[in-house]
Chain A
Amino acid sequence: MPRRDDIHTVLVLGSGPIVIGQACEFDYSGTQACRVLRQEGYRVVLVNSNPATIMTDPDFADRTYVEPLDPDVVEAVIEREHPQALLATLGGQTALNLATRLSERGTLEQHGVELIGANARAIRTAEDRQAFKAAMTEIGLSVPASGIAHDLEEALGIAEAIGEPLILRPSFILGGKGTGIAENRAQFARMARVALAASPISEVLIERSIKGWKEYELEVMRDRDDNAVVVCSIENLDPMGVHTGDSITVAPAQTLSDVEYQRMRDAAFACIRRIGVETGGSNIQFAVDPGTGDMVIIEMNPRVSRSSALASKATGFPIAKIAARLAVGYTLPEIANDITRRTPACFEPTIDYVVTKIPRWAFEKFPGTPAVLGTAMQSVGEAMAIGRTFPESLQKALRSLEHGRAGLNADPGEGLLDSLDDRELVHRASVPTPDRPYQLESALRRGVTVEHLARETGVDPWFLDQIARIVAGRERIVAAGGLAGLDRAAWREAKRLGFSDAQVGFLLGEPEARVREARLAAGVRPVFKTVDTCGAEFDAETPYHYSTWEEEDEVRPSGAPRVIILGAGPNRIGQGIEFDYCCVHASFALREAGFETVMVNCNPETVSTDYDTSDRLYFEPLTEEDVLAVIDAERRAAAEGGGRLAGVVVSLGGQTPLKLASRLGPELVLGTSPEAIDLAEDRRRWSDLCARLAIPQPAGGTAATLAEAREVVERIGYPVLVRPSYVLGGRAMEIVYDDEGLVRALAELAGFGGVAAGAGTGTWGQSPEGGAAGSLGREGGLSAERPVLVDRFLEDAIEVDVDAIRDGAGEVLIGGVMEHVEEAGVHSGDSACVIPPPTLTSSAVEVIEGYTRAIAEALDVKGLVNVQYAVKQGQVFVIEANPRASRTVPFVAKATGVPLAKVAARVMVGATLAELRAEGLVPPEVDGRATTGGYVSVKEAVLPFNRFPDVDTLLGPEMRSTGEVMGLDRRFGSAFAKSQLAAGWRLPTEGTVFFSLADRDKRAGLGAAARFVELGFRLVATAGTARFLRDNGVPVEAEVAKVGADGDGAEPGPGPASGPGADAVELIATGQVDLVVNTPRGRGPRADGARIRTACSFHGVPCLTTVAAARAAAAGIADQARHPLSVYSLQELHRPEQLELPWEAARLDVEA
């Protein structure tokens, strides 16, 4: 069946902000979908609130709405755009839930919009656990014994009938929020409450726990002619009990015989047919009893998922792209396999390598949360590696994670396990934690048997035996006694087991550079093989490579000038999708300019690792050894083909590639020189530069001891901002208000080395001690070489971020001046920010622009530069400058229509802004600064506190947000309200606001409180705040008792109904408060404030922790009340003159 001609416009829903459980894999799938649909000639309308995505680039859709993923908003888009079809299966659980709601409330039917990809009934059957189990039982598949509860009583009845251990899974949630395993009745009752609250429909599935069984996933595709294929099988190294998103997973399945595999395949097809997914991809999970082979089906996702992205990258089979084609009428046999181009997509990929994915966690950001893995996902990113064998791919994946480890131990980090005795080590390995792989290797190295370890941990003996091979390989490296002792065969064996040069160096007591020299002298180099979907049966057209240690290299020569772009590696807090956006845009821009682009990255979720984003893709760890190997391969390709390697882009992928810049050779680094990058980071040289340019900085100094720090403070006064001299992605800053705080902060830094003993292995810097070491400590030590920076902290200052580009001719383009909503002291990544600045005076903006130009000039920037300022009482101070892409580049590009990353990439290879203006890449009217065309854009951070229920939600200098959203409107208030809605906080239109202000915030908070009263809200407040407000003429209806007056230790949770004198937590828990304004009393955890904020997070009540945010919210509420909801596409913002539909232009006139 060919493409459907009855559809003209397709509405695509994205997945919104990056959150735990839903990351940039949906940008990858959504981007593929948009491209395919446009190639097929459809008009594509996209809604996605996440400005950092590539899919929301205005080139990928006809109309791009960066608007909240909310039913009312999407209905407004439908009314404007009249789509005939809605594709929601490529936008994760968010899009699927939204589509379900639109269907249920009749919006789709009313507007004649057909749900394509999966119908509402199929979604319902797959998502509703009861319906799913009934359906599976009906077709003869086994499921674990279970029951459904809607309240606690029902839950306890089911527990009685089945017996523990029991697993709880709330319905309609993403990433496993609220799920867990209960071992006894008391634990069960407690967890059942949490699970019921987590489900939007208060429904929880309770089933027999099959913890310890082997876990598998199959990625299946089906079309309307009932053609069905398995794209990939995946086996989890961690047995059942760990969320698949938090598991180490391996493709293909390793320990299933053909008999068992085919049985699973048959079951998967029976499942997808019964559920009724007529077109598209599904992920189906199975568990197998390792003792008997009994197989049960666990769940099915009737959509493209995180695992689909992994399966696509693991096999080369573009699931999302094909799912989009299937959704519009094609069948699998009609679609060509992109990789071979000769064979159809209707086949099952076969691979001749092993893929390992390992998650990356951020427990260090959430002190108080134990680093234990369970059925709720907690990881924030992942790395994938490809090797010919499992040991090779496992070690590559571990070094891809970039958490300071060189592979599976054989590095300085392994020493942290030395203090444990065997028994304790095995015991620790039996609990799933991020450290488990290292513990397994260490135990095997000590002689613990595979059998014993398998019994204690549930990890399959095959995997353990493969790790034992790594152990044996290590012993042979050590036995060589030195580099000279390694002959070609020994090198080959070590490398085939995945040992990095750094590991070999550690084992032989040699620096990595000497290991490299010796290896190259022995003629041992990696080769690059190709991911081709077919195990080399057919010739592959697509150069998607991975390194390994074999006999044949498949990299083809090329005559075109080439640029290598180093990606950002696994997502982490502080370095996420924004940098992938920049790398991808660079690739697009350079390809358009005639370069062949070569991408190096190891993050399977991303668009950058899509095989057709760049001319070549190397799926490799971003370490010195691996990157140098790629550079060598590309140099050879250029030499043999008569081409030229123009250079390497290191400044668009965040800290990851930047750290490598100095190792590559300055002549290879494109754009700003590594020397200038260093200058900006070196405290003394940077201060000298600012002084020379007469740009004020906050007073400060460096200190290597407490005494020195006190000296600095003596000079500048409290409060001070304390941070290590080498701050990675803004981590590990603290604001210190007094001497006590200074002593603690310095002690944390100095005491880092002692954390390991008896307090977790420390591989991840956190481990079960749960925050005993503060964040400064984790950044590693205090010494004359690594002093701390102690700067005057400018309280109540407005923080400002600027992104700019300077070209080789010296012209500077100000991309955007962003004013932060939260005052200085909140990490810029966690603060909301606004373009254009709503409160800064035009003279302040002029000063800021002038400073930015001067700094860019002085640093001889070629490309992007980000400069941060603090504005206090009209005076502008520079905080820091980074001559590289910042997190805000995609937001600024969306707000202004200037594609900053593309422009920067071109500038880095020599183009001038004038040339790019002539070419049209820079809009011709943009001269000196980009503008926003009368619109206001607000970027809001999205924080993962719902995953870490015991963590204080107070914002501070350490970044903890996982993602961002953008609110776009013609007024600041409306834009802010949209940003809040997009972030999951619907601002109330009426009701009660609870105020609790720190003393220093009371004066500033007065105006905000008065504004809420004007808007018709009732106010309640804590005693001190109430008194202050009343004294100043603001009516407060009730005073609220101090939290926990009845005693400490009460957990914030669905509490009992409140009576008179209820405390704030009870009011929040019982829904009597619609908005909370709670500002912290200085630094440090204050029990009541923390518990109020935690309760808000738990119960979904918007909680504002700064007065500035309260003011913004009031403005938003006011604008929402005055103006009906309007939606705007980026196209009308960026290119109003190019609008095609007359009614759109007319509407703009009315608005204007």
Chain B
Amino acid sequence: MTGAEVAALLVLADGTTFEGEAMGALGAGRPVTGERPGRPATGELVFNTAMTGYQEVLTDPSYAGQVVAFTYPHIGNYGTSSEDDESPRPRCRGVVVRELARRPSSWRASEDLDSFLRRHGVPGITGVDTRRLTRHLRSHGALPCALGAIEGPGAFSPEDLADAAAGEPGTTGADMVSGVTTPAAYTVGDGPYRVVAYDLGLKVSQLRYLTAWATVEVVPAGTDAGEVLGRRPDGVFLSNGPGDPAALPWVVDTVKALLGEVPVMGICLGHQVLATALGGSTYKLPFGHHGGNHPVRDLEGGPVQITSQNHNYAVDPAGLDPRRVAVTHVNLNDGVVEGLRSTDPGVPAFSVQYHPEAGPGPHDATGLFERFRRLVEDGRP
């Protein structure tokens, strides 16, 4: 340690601890501003296996309520750039890395990652054996955790951290969407079609693809179906978002009311909501899919897509009525449902569990936004 570094600890709900050093909004003079200032940072700990795209991950609202551990050791190498934000600010509760880069290198970098985290009040810990951590999560599932400095002003004792971790509820059954959705509707783009996008935790990259051909009206998650239909949209888009889809019956009901009235596309949480609206159900994966290398097979043809994924919940194929819904995509690694469509010609709708907009991740599936455009075109009189 250089001396300037402050020892910190990451403690899981099962008592497992990991040593490291404070970074971001953790440690002396770096107050945690998050949701519970003055207390240890806590959240549901998940790991992400992407080797690039840490900034996009940290600003993805789907990570609300979670602490993200990166499996790739060197994080922060190319700094941060406002161009790469997926939302106005990070929503995750903390970051765990093996090696924070002190000095970024990129012609686009405007700020180093540590400063970025401090500015946004996101606590972090570096120097952690993240591989041990990942193997632990792999066998025990995503776990609540707490992290804090253990020396200097504002230090916590290991016992404080263990108690905080044990007291952290995690995301199961929690509505995390209300905390991240836009407070008011807004419009972006000026394309020939009109798409209403439900912000359940929307990523900017999705808007980039939609605005290529549509004027997109982004609305809060609580917007009711009547109001949306009143905007006379050509299509409705359901974004990604954080937390347990089962905790969002109000969104599901809205989507039920929209189905058959307007073509619908869903991504990630939007996919889970659509599946539920179509009569299906969801379940929680042991440790989820978080990374940029998941192979997905399109059962209706075409090459395998390497996809960006970020989900803890998945659609249960057993709960889908084959007369209404067809599974269109599966994950080659574990067979998890990665996409579906309505088979009722009167109900034009499809969704994918993964992220065709990338941000971060491969661009293999960007064609899905074109597919949505065709659905919209076909649906418009």
Identify the closest chain A residue to B101 (Cβ): A462
Q: Which residues between 97 and 134 of chain B lie within 8 Å of chain A, taking CB atoms?
A: 98-99, 101-108, 129-132, 134
Among A229, A344, A465, A537, residue most surrounded by chain B Cβ atoms (within 10 Å) = A537
Contact of A550 among B51, B129, B293, B359 (CB under 8 A): B129
**B: which residues have CB within 8 A of A?**
1-2, 18-19, 47, 49-53, 55-56, 71-74, 77-78, 81, 83-84, 98-99, 101-108, 129-132, 134-135, 138, 291-295, 297, 303-304, 306, 332-334, 358-363
Please determine whether B103 and A538 come into contact, CB atoms closer than 8 angstroms.
Answer: no
- Chain A hits for B98, CB < 8 A: 352, 388-389
Flag if B2 contacts A347 (CB, 8 Å).
no
A253 to chain B, nearest CB (A): 8
Which residues in A have their C-beta under 8 angstroms from that of B103? 450, 461-462, 465
Cβ contacts under 8 Å, B334 to chain A: 343
A164 interface residue (CB < 8 Å to B)? no
When C-beta atoms are compared, the residue in chain A nearest to B359 turns out to be A258
CA gap between A1069 and B175 in the complex, in Å: 82
Instruction: Tell me the complex Cα distance, A247–B129, Å.
Output: 30
Which of A332, A476, A535 has its CB near the most chain B CB atoms (within 10 A)? A535
| A556 CB to nearest chain B CB (Å) | 13
B363 touches A537 (CB 8 A): no
Could you write out 7 A-B pairs with CB less than 8 Å apart? A258-B52, A258-B360, A266-B363, A350-B293, A351-B51, A389-B98, A537-B291
Interface residue SS majority, chain A = loop
Which A residues are in CB contact (< 8 Å) with B72?
Answer: 252, 350-352, 535
Ranked nearest first, the 6 interchain pairs of A and B with the lowest CB-CB distance are A258-B53, A258-B360, A535-B71, A462-B105, A552-B132, A258-B52
Interface residues as binary, A321-339 with B (CB distance below 8 Å gives 1, 0 otherwise): 0000000000011000000
B362 touches A347 (CB 8 A): no
Q: A350–B71 contact, CB under 8 A?
A: yes
Return B366 CB to nearest CB of chain A, in Å: 10
A297 to chain B, nearest CB (A): 17
CB of A490 to closest CB in B, whole Å: 8
Q: Are B104 and A462 in contact (CB under 8 A)?
A: yes
Q: Of A226, A292, A344, A354, which one neighbours B303 at CB under 8 angstroms?
A: A226
Using Cβ atoms and an 8 Å threshold, which residues of chain A touch B77? 254-255, 462
Bound together, the chains give a CA A82 to CA B361 distance in angstroms of 47
> Are B297 and A255 in touch, CB under 8 angstroms?
no
- When distances are taken between beta carbons in the complex, the residues of chain A under 8 Å from B49 are 350, 352, 534-535, 537
Cβ of A476: which chain B residues have Cβ within 8 Å of it? 2
- Among residues 233 to 283 in chain A, which have CB atoms less than 8 Å away from a CB atom of chain B? 252-259, 261-262, 265-266
Q: A257-B78, A266-B363, A552-B129 are known contacts; what are 15 more A-B pairs with Cβ within 8 Å?
A: A225-B303, A254-B77, A258-B56, A258-B84, A258-B358, A262-B360, A262-B363, A333-B332, A343-B333, A346-B332, A352-B73, A389-B98, A465-B101, A535-B71, A536-B131
Query: Does B131 contact A257, Cβ atoms closer than 8 Å?
Result: no
- Interface pair A552/B56, CB less than 8 Å apart: no
Contacts of A293 in B (CB 8 A): 107-108
A412 and B138 alpha carbons, distance in the complex (Å): 45
Q: Complex formed: what's the CA distance from A554 to B104 in Å?
A: 32
Residues of B within 8 A of A462 (CB): 77-78, 101, 103-105
Taking A350-B51, A354-B73 as contacts, is the C-beta distance between A257 and B135 under 8 angstroms? Answer: no
Closest to B294 in A: A347
> With A227-B304, A254-B74, A535-B72 as given contacts, are A349 and B52 in contact (CB-CB < 8 Å)?
no
Interface contact A258-B361, CB-CB below 8 Å = yes
Q: Which residue from chain B places its CB closest to the CB of A533 in the assembled complex?
A: B293
Bound complex: CA of A461 vs CA of B103, how far in Å? 8
Question: When A258-B53, A550-B132, A551-B132 are in contact, do A537 and B138 touch as well, CB less than 8 Å?
Answer: yes
> For B18, B47, B73, B84, which residue has the most chain A Cβ atoms within 10 angstroms?
B73
Cα distance, A348 to B304, chains bound together (Å): 12
**A631: CB under 8 A from chain B?**
no
Nearest A residue to B305, CB-CB: A227
Residues 555 to 610 of chain A near chain B (Cβ within 8 Å): none
Q: Which of B130, B292, B304, B361 contacts A346 (CB 8 A)?
A: B304
Please name all residues of chain A whose beta carbon is closer than 8 Å to the beta carbon of B84 when the two chains form the complex.
257-259
Q: Which one of A389, A538, A554 lies within 8 Å of B74 (CB-CB)?
A: A389
Q: Taking A354-B73, A493-B1, A535-B72 as contacts, is the C-beta distance between A290 and B135 under 8 angstroms?
A: no
Tell me the bound Cα distance from A538 to B55 in angstroms. Answer: 25
Asked if A255 and B51 sit within 8 Å, CB to CB, the answer is no
Residue of A nearest to B98 (CB): A388
**Which residues of B are found within 8 Å of A259, using beta-carbon distances?**
83-84, 108
Residue of B51, B55, B81, B297 ringed by the most chain A CB atoms within 10 A? B51
Set of chain A residues within 8 Å of B104, measured between Cβ atoms: 462
B107 touches A348 (CB 8 A): no
Q: At the interface, yes or no: A529 with Cβ under 8 Å from chain B?
A: yes
Instruction: Decide if A60 is an interface residue (CB 8 Å cutoff).
Output: no
Asked if A764 is at the interface (CB within 8 A of a chain B CB), the reply is no
On whether A257 and B52 interact (CB within 8 A), knowing A350-B72, A552-B129, the answer reads: yes
B104 to chain A: closest residue by CB: A462
| CA A226 to CA B297, docked complex, whole Å | 13
A228 in contact (CB, < 8 A): yes
Is the beta-carbon distance between A255 and B78 smaller than 8 angstroms? yes
Contact check, B303 vs A228: say whether CB atoms are below 8 A apart.
Answer: yes
What CA separation (Å) do A537 and B291 show in the bound complex?
A: 10
Chain B residues near A618: list those with CB within 8 A: none
Evaluate whether A465 and B102 lie within 8 angstroms (CB atoms) in the complex, with A229-B306, A350-B72 already known: yes
Contact of B99 with A389 in the complex, beta carbons under 8 Å? yes
In the complex, A225 Cα to B333 Cα: how many Å? Answer: 19
Residues on the B chain within 8 Å of A252, using CB: 51, 72
CA distance A476 to B1 in the complex (A): 9
Q: What 0/1 pattern do residues 378 to 417 of A give for CB contact below 8 A with B?
A: 0000000000111000000000000000000000000000
Cα distance A256–B106 in the bound complex, in angstroms? 8
Query: Which of B101, B362, B363 counts the most chain A CB atoms within 10 A?
Result: B362
Known: A291-B107, A450-B103. A489 touches B1 (CB 8 A): yes
* In the bound complex, CA of A259 to CA of B78 (Å): 11
Whether A333 contacts B18 by the Cβ 8 Å rule is no
Per-position binary interface string of chain A over residues 532-553, scored 1 when its CB falls under 8 Å from any chain B CB and 0 otherwise: 0011111100000000001110
A290 touches B107 (CB 8 A): yes
Contact of A461 among B105, B294, B332, B333 (CB under 8 A): B105
Q: Are A347 and B51 neighbours in the complex by a CB distance under 8 Å?
A: no
Task: Determine whether the beta carbon of A258 is less than 8 Å from that of B50.
Answer: yes
Q: Tell me the smallest distance from the CB of A1029 to a CB of chain B, in Å.
A: 68
Alpha-carbon gap, A461 to B112, bound state (A): 14
Minimal Cβ-Cβ distance residue in B for A261: B52
Closest Cβ–Cβ distance, residue B149 to chain A (whole Å): 16
Query: Nearest CB to that of B134 among chain A residues?
Result: A536
Chain B residue at minimal CB-CB distance from A463: B105
CA distance A256 to B74 in the complex (A): 12
The 8 Å CB contact of B71, one of A226, A472, A536, is A536
B299 to chain A, nearest CB (A): 12
Specify which of B72, B292, B304, B363 lies most central, judged by the most chain A CB atoms within 10 Å of its CB.
B304
* Interface status of A460 (Cβ within 8 A of chain B): yes
Residue of B nearest to A223 (CB): B303
Shortest beta-carbon distance, B150 to chain A, in Å? 13
Which B residues touch A388, using CB under 8 A?
73, 98-99, 131
Taking the complex as formed, is A353 at the interface, i.e. its CB lies under 8 A from any CB of chain B?
yes
Are B18's CB and A551's CB within 8 A? yes
Closest to A349 in B: B293
Q: Which residues of A contact B138 (CB under 8 A)?
A: 536-539
**Which partner residue on chain B sits nearest A550 by CB separation?**
B129
Query: Shortest beta-carbon distance, A343 to chain B, in Å?
Result: 4
Task: Pick the most buried of B108, B129, B358: most chain A CB atoms within 10 A of its CB.
Answer: B129
Q: Which residues of B contact A390 (CB under 8 A)?
A: 74
A493→B73 CA distance, assembly (Å):
15
The smallest C-beta distance from A487 to any residue of chain B, in angstroms, reads 11
Question: How far is B51's CA from A537's CA once the two chains are assembled, in angstroms?
Answer: 13
Which of B83, B131, B291, B303 has the largest count of A CB atoms less than 10 A from its CB?
B131
Take A258-B50, A291-B107 as given contacts and tell me if A352 and B295 are in contact as well, using a CB distance cutoff of 8 Å.
no
Smallest CB–CB gap between B168 and chain A, Å?
A: 23
